Structure 1
């Protein structure tokens, strides 16, 4: 025996984290829970178990709380970021004189699920979570489309949205029946017109989020070149977008491909400036345009988003407007009223400048930056946990993984 070796103290491993053996399984359960809990509550409400806005909020709080317990560890950085952003959000609430904590929730979801992804055992576990989510969405979508009469018996979407306070009875549309207001395409269907006017919502209960989710699946499939089942994930993405007749989702997929294949070479400063450049362009368009009416096409949605942004008073831009406005058709206007321009600058700066353990994760970050920046033009859905949980988990998993050998 080597005497020197005998004198060398044995290596002392760090204290084992009791959460580590369950990390992958818990992450999968939480991501699927975030994906389907509204769908499950809709089923309960249709079956006669009354659901309210408090029920929905309670379910979301439970998912985020459990995710928080498995996302953060002894590293001080995530705790400091979380504390700083939550404190800022509470300050805005105090200045608004409001009790609506949606702005705080909008900070919590990215931080919690990003760090949950960083603690994922490996990229194969993330692959399984993304593919499982895609399969669930497609299977429920096919059930809705192929067995619609049976589907309506168990899932009355309009009654659910009225029960949770997101829709008033006066908004019920006879054309869509039990579906969400955008569940029927009133004009010609864009993608595969022979499928008819029904836009499939799957577990999201409304087709816009379904189309956005298809773009999310596409971004992971394009990023993960060595993924087992990659072709199936591409198929899930395509079917989700086609069934939802998601015109915007298909456009975003093209932009995502460009960002991941070429755009990631651009300097970070340009990526940081991207959303604020879009916001400035929409603001100028809103002030310069003489139009006051819009149609439900791409040009019309851009005009409406610009008009919503330019209608905000200065208090709305700084996030201290006490009045609650309906801004779901403009994610930029919604973000300003919820977190203010200062909060937006800090949050986007963290997103762009966050260091990555895996250099290749920057490609996915650029793809998701394009996804977020474009989607915020016409919707506030990037803040919805239904799609946001998987988006931030994917980014965290890509950042926290070991670089793959090529």
Structure 2
């Protein structure tokens, strides 16, 4: 061949190099999802057994799980890297403007991006079915152990001591009513779901019952979405048992809303879904400023009032996410979102979630279900940002968006 003429590339050279991570993608997904689900219970066990745990230990465990997920979630595609870089840079800018070393806002950006892309990289619906069902079985087995053998359970899992050790509670908050359980582990008034089960609200691996109820709603959403799933009835059962044991009133209500969103609501325009959380936030703000009540009770009306009061208690710098002082906002996810992400960050993050196209059109149904889950849950809690439940939520969304449409 003449030296000056270009040589044809061989077919092998034209193909991209195989990604060494591909054969391990499914196994890693199962490992990190299980780790995100149970690591708090493991640390609680270690702390009860005499191995001291601190807030740094918990943070280190979360960092390790996120780092391992990140290593298998992103590939050569520039889009996810640009989104991740933009959100993390914005989060670090807010940290700098606050003058406060708390980087929870950065973590709140990282979890959705890395776990969503992990699902996109391994969009096998049947593998996801097994991962979700395995998570549900773990939660139910641990929950039944806690409820049925409580005396033995608290010998190995002293939840209050764990939360004090990690800095999430003070010793003054320990109550004789709840004993070794989390503050909400005992229902002080009458139990709502199956009152004969008694006041004990089961926390399972989550160590507090609110997240257990939320997780039950997540399991219900996947079971409703996956019409061809093997073991679908078992997943529905896991969801029901988890919600009942936790006496999760809100989790049960959210299941009804999820069913409506998945069966009918997905037909609504995306702009309406984009406006939904900001409409709820506006309603809470108006309610907080207009209400003359200052005391509240632990029912739905009382929780709405308390959430509205927390939103309206934010100063202007809190709305923009640059408030240096840390306030207790865990009972209002919208107030927490503004204080950590700022209104600009919330607009961008929610816009990416709602307006991003899906490879699988059927995945939009699940995205609508999770949108209603997030919007409603943020009214009374910041738990949508907890890796305990968020890891599986965003993984499910990634799998549903990336999978091939089923017949």
Same-fold status (TM-score > 0.5): yes
Taking the aligned partners of 2:15 and 2:396, their CA distance within structure 1 comes to 29
CA distance in 2, matches of 1:121, 1:323: 42
Aligned to 1:389: 391
2:293 to 291, 305, 319: 291
Report how many aligned residue pairs link the two structures: 399
User: Given that residues 184 and 197 in structure 1 are in contact (C-alpha distance below 8 angstroms), is that contact kept between their aligned partners in structure 2?
Assistant: yes
What's the C-alpha RMSD, in Å, of the aligned pairs?
A: 1.0
Q: Distance in 1 between matches of 2:11 and 2:287?
A: 68
Consecutive unaligned residues of structure 2, counting only runs of 5 or more, are: 1-7
- Asked whether the 8 Å contact 1:295–1:301 carries over to 2, the reply is yes
- Encode CA deviations 1:269-298: one digit per residue, 9 max, x unaligned: 000000000000000000000000000000
Provide the rounded CA distance (Å) in 2 between the counterparts of 1:13 and 1:139. 47
SS at match of 2:262: helix
Query: What is the distance in 2 between the residues matched to 1:173 and 1:299?
Result: 25
1:214-293 matches, within 5 Å, as 214-293=216-295
Report deviation, 1:243: 0.3
Q: 2:198 aligns with which of 196, 199, 203?
A: 196
For 1:89 and 1:200, the matched residues in 2 are separated by 35
Q: Match of 1:77?
A: 79
What residue in structure 1 maps to residue 208 of structure 2? 206
1:41-190 alignment runs, 5 A limit: 41-190=43-192
Shift of 1:9: 6.2
Residues 21-67 of structure 1, C-alpha deviations (whole Å, 9 max, x = no match): 00000000000000000000000000000000000000000000000
Q: In 2, distance between residues paired with 1:59 and 1:160?
A: 15
Corresponding residue of 1:378: 380
Task: Give the alignment partner of residue 404 of structure 2, picking from 373, 397, 402.
Answer: 402
Structure 1: 5+ residue stretches without partners? 1-6
Partner of 1:3: none
Aligned to 1:335: 337
What TM-score do the two structures reach when normalised by structure 2? 0.97
What is the CA-CA distance between 1:203 and the residue it aligns to? 0.1
1:17 counterpart = 2:19: yes
CA contact (8 A) 1:24 1:121 kept: no
Per-residue CA deviation, residues 216-270 of structure 1 (Å, 9 max, x unaligned), is 0000000000111101000000000000000000000000000000000000000
- For residue 307 of structure 1, report the CA deviation from its aligned partner: 0.3
Structure 1 counterpart of 2:349, from 331, 347, 350: 347
Q: Is the 8 A contact 1:23 1:121 kept in 2?
A: no
